[in-house]
Structure 1
């Protein structure tokens, strides 16, 4: 799938400091959700776990399914808080996070499921539901039992041609700064070796590898990063969610 990333809906601000660009993390506005969903789809298209989940689909149906899944997830996130769906560099990098576990529950993406059913993607739906039932609920609740208040990184993706430029680092550090401020641990599920090594750079620790398929083609590594407590904890600072009709930041 070719992806056209435009900036007609997003103004991108870069602060120049001694010839170095400071990457500015910004909310994903409603008018850019489609662009952001393309970014996540391109970033996850070679992910082994998602490839396994959608293996009965041809490439175009799989990509279309993922795009609509991510689109609906971002829409739900930004309605809860503008800070829960963020981007860098004109949606070249995207991250979805929350302190509300239900955001990443399939019950919150029912519209995506109805859409997929209408297009006859039943096999993909069953696989994704199975994948989520194993990871997002039982495993996370068990691992985070001692931390009822925590932050979850749901999805992070950088366009393949834009990787290794610090975009992913900027997005993750944006969330970690908020986590440290309120003394919340951060939970994430890495679905390949590269993701595990990436999150280890920020202090995330593996909680063991979970095999999701009998053929061991799909695995998931829950990872937790404890907060760096520098000052007295503050309440988690996030802005209100946008209105459904609001196309601005």
Structure 2
């Protein structure tokens, strides 16, 4: 009798983990990045306070677009996006600082009342607390994360972690600490998971409805000696957007 044999084949599939793509925001994606951050911060108490009654989304879009345009003049690296603008981050090193348009130009975009509140109240308050928290560090060698957001429906996919890794890798190579001002209290555990520790707590402009937590991540050096931050050059303001 012929004996039937069952032939089995084992299929081995090599599945490579997909690396999350983080890259600088190019000129053509400035509006998209501004829309992303607008969606991420639409319910942010502090920025709503800064808007001074201007429709929230209109204010936020114009606000983020102006900051992105200004900041990328210093370096294209200072504004990055993840996976086609599902998240975005604005950051800077202390030496160059976060760039804002002049009061007059910002006022033309968001109105004088909102511009003055942003530039004359909120920003000086931020600068004062940042200097206080970072006083024990080298004042010229640290990184500040200004805004980091991932679209609400894209949470828990690793996009926020990828954005943080982008700047943390640069910080560790340069032996820089990273400073962040957290106004969304439910975001504190996220930053703690990535090595940030609470250094101070306060109220934005002494407003009891606007608590803030100031956090710092100490560097985890990857080299014996620090390497200077390697930053792409800034773009030119050829279209006079700023």
TM-score calculated relative to the size of structure 1 = 0.81
Counterpart of 1:23 in structure 2 is 20
Counterpart of 2:48 in structure 1 is 51
Instruction: Find the aligned partners of 2:37 and 2:63 in 1 and give their Cα distance.
Output: 10
- 1:142 Cα deviation from its structure 2 partner: 1.7
Instruction: Find the aligned partners of 2:226 and 2:100 in 1 and give their Cα distance.
Output: 32
Instruction: Find the aligned partners of 1:102 and 1:89 in 2 and give their Cα distance.
Output: 27
Instruction: Find the aligned partners of 1:50 and 1:93 in 2 and give their Cα distance.
Output: 18
Alignment deviations for residues 137-190 of structure 1 (CA, whole Å, 9 cap, x no partner): 111112212321101111111111111111111001100000000100101100
Tell me, what secondary structure is at the counterpart of 2:172? Answer: helix
**Gaps (5+ residues) in structure 2?**
1-13
Q: How many residue pairs align between the two structures?
A: 222
Tell me, what secondary structure is at the counterpart of 1:244? Answer: coil
**Poorly superposed stretches of 4+, deviation over 6 Å:** none
- 1:195 Cα deviation from its structure 2 partner: 2.0
Instruction: Choose which of 110, 129, 140 in structure 2 pairs with 1:116.
Output: 110
Q: Is the 8 A contact 1:72 1:111 kept in 2?
A: no
Give yes or no for the alignment of 1:152 onto 2:144: yes
- Would the alpha carbon gap of residues 101 and 233 (structure 1) be closer, same or farther in structure 2, given more than 3 Å must change? closer
Q: Which moved more, 1:89-98 or 1:212-221?
A: 212-221
- Would the alpha carbon gap of residues 162 and 109 (structure 1) be closer, same or farther in structure 2, given more than 3 Å must change? farther
Pairs within 5 Å for 1:24-173 = 24-54=21-51, 56-57=52-53, 61-100=55-94, 103-104=97-98, 106=100, 111-117=105-111, 122=113, 124-129=114-119, 130-135=121-126, 137-145=127-135, 146-148=137-139, 149-173=141-165
Instruction: Find the aligned partners of 2:148 and 2:181 in 1 and give their Cα distance.
Output: 11
Tell me, what secondary structure is at the counterpart of 1:224? Answer: strand
Instruction: Find the aligned partners of 1:98 and 1:31 in 2 and give their Cα distance.
Output: 21
- Would the alpha carbon gap of residues 192 and 226 (structure 1) be closer, same or farther in structure 2, given more than 3 Å must change? same
CA RMSD of aligned residues (A): 2.1
- Would the alpha carbon gap of residues 107 and 138 (structure 1) be closer, same or farther in structure 2, given more than 3 Å must change? farther
- Would the alpha carbon gap of residues 107 and 166 (structure 1) be closer, same or farther in structure 2, given more than 3 Å must change? same
Counterpart of 1:195 in structure 2 is 187
Instruction: Find the aligned partners of 1:175 and 1:109 in 2 and give their Cα distance.
Output: 29
Instruction: Find the aligned partners of 1:177 and 1:34 in 2 and give their Cα distance.
Output: 27
- Would the alpha carbon gap of residues 151 and 213 (structure 1) be closer, same or farther in structure 2, given more than 3 Å must change? closer
Alignment deviations for residues 4-54 of structure 1 (CA, whole Å, 9 cap, x no partner): xxxxxxxxxxxxx82532101111011110010000010001112223333
Q: Is the 8 A contact 1:41 1:67 kept in 2?
A: yes
- 1:101 Cα deviation from its structure 2 partner: 5.8
Q: Is the 8 A contact 2:181 2:212 kept in 1?
A: yes
Q: Is the 8 A contact 1:102 1:108 kept in 2?
A: no
Tell me, what secondary structure is at the counterpart of 1:42? Answer: helix
